[in-house]
Structure 1
Amino acid sequence: MHNAVPILALVALVWSGAAWAQSPLPAPSPALKTVEPNEAVPLPEVKTAGTVQYVSGGIPHEQLPAFRAARRDYALNIEIFQRDGGRSVFTADAQVRIVNVKSGELMLESKIDGPYLWAKVPPGQYRVVATLNDQVKEARVTVKASQSTRAVIVFPQAQE
């Protein structure tokens, strides 16, 4: 009798699978749109914190061209990566703070939605402090009026 239960379960699974395969699938909701191959995804919505406008993201991969195209429109381009073996990979969910070195003013604090955070900050010197998995990394940058400045922060490989 113990062997009958798995056999009955297998028969029920096969039978229900055959019935499922024959029934038509419902039409997908327009709200559940997926990215088509080679389809570009626009930048995420611009957010504002105090006087700083910013965007964060870079995931899905199809969003990268939009971020590259917008790089020059934002004075500060922050990129966050994490080591994975011998390479750096995209990461998301880092907490990022941008602090004006001269005044000590916190310009922006945000959890980012991908590896990129582009911010419109005035010219000056800034500390970029990123936290990921209880690890803190910092970069110091000088933002000039005529060009965008890039800050790259790479976290060590996550401990398992």
Structure 2
Amino acid sequence: MNKRFERSTLAAMMAVGGLALAGVLSTAQAALPPIKHQGSVQYVSGGIGIDESESMKAAAKDYPLALTFAAQRDGKADYVASVAVTIHDSQGKEVLKAMAEGPYMLVKLPAGSYKISATYNGRAQDRQVTVQNTGTTRAVFEWK
């Protein structure tokens, strides 16, 4: 084979690979559930199905707070939805009250300390978290 043919073949393969990657990324973004607002707080919840789950995981880097919800069933942890979530700031002011529509909830909050209450099947759990200016703070709620 001549060098010119090899270079053009390699360039074509790279272009096809780039298009495939762009298609995967746009599919992941398209699978992200709708972003919601409550006051000044922006959040998204979901993660049901592989596409939506992968989209939520990929989007977590853009949110200062990531919540995960699971429950023990037959000796293993299963993801759950329909979790009532309430977040209060350090002064006790409610900043978010929403229903998680899947096992993941991503929340944009300013840096600070927060109390998160999550209720699933009538059983509540609380977590204290500190949200930083950079990175993602993660909190996991698991019911037994």
TM-score, structure 2 length as denominator? Answer: 0.77
Counterpart in 2 of 1:50?
39
Following TM superposition, the consecutive aligned residue runs of length 4 or more in structure 1 with deviations greater than 2 angstroms are none
The question of 1:147 aligning with 2:135 is answered yes
Q: How does 1:102-113 map to 2 (within 5 A)?
A: 102-113=90-101
Give the % identical residues: 35
The question of 1:137 aligning with 2:125 is answered yes
Q: How does 1:47-126 map to 2 (within 5 A)?
A: 47-100=36-89, 102-126=90-114
Q: Amino acid of the residue matched to residue 142 of structure 1? A: T
Higher helix share: 2
Q: Amino acid of the residue matched to residue 96 of structure 1? A: V
Structure 2's unaligned 5+ residue stretches are 1-26
* 1:100-119 Cα deviation digits (max 9, x unpaired): 1x211111011111001100
The RMSD of aligned alpha carbons is 1.3
TM-score, structure 1 length as denominator? Answer: 0.70
Structure 1's unaligned 5+ residue stretches are 1-38
| Post-superposition offset of 1:64 | 1.3
Q: Amino acid of the residue matched to residue 57 of structure 2? A: R
| Aligned counterparts of 2:91 and 2:70: Cα–Cα separation in 1 | 28
